[in-house]
Amino acid sequence: MRRAGFFIRHFWVLQNAPFLSYLCPCRLKRAQFTHEEDVVAFGCTAMHYFCPFYWELSILHGLAGTVRGTGKTIPPMVVLLVSLCVFRIGWIQWVLPFFSSIDGIFLLYPVSWGLGALMMVGYAWKANWLET
């Protein structure tokens, strides 16, 4: 029982680390890697975009792994390719020119995670992936 508690506690910490790090002072955490103010500022900006939406990535990969575990490997692969590759290339090609700063790149990640999560939830809900 102690071993299960150990794993559950560590899993909780790993699962919630992005959110918990969002609550800590950003400058303090970034300064441990570099003391250049521009780098620290970009790191803080990235955290403000990534951390609140990191749960979307866990839904995407969790459902993709679950569906792959049933033997249906092609649909999760297509969803991941479309949301994490094709969509990002399209965003960089057509949407990024409307941004004048790096915020366009930072915004791309949570949007692509959300798109992939929605696609995987739709597939898991509507498709017959549980039937063999």
Residue 84's H or E segment, with its range, is none
**Cβ atoms 114, 58 nearer than 8 A:** no
Would you say the C-alpha torsion 77, 7, 51, 32 has a positive or negative sign?
Answer: negative
- 19-70 residue pLDDT tens: 555 555 565 555 667 778 888 788 888 888 998 898 899 999 999 999 999 9
Looking at residue 11, what is its pLDDT? 57
- 69-120 residue pLDDT tens: 999 999 999 999 999 999 999 999 999 999 999 999 999 999 999 999 999 9
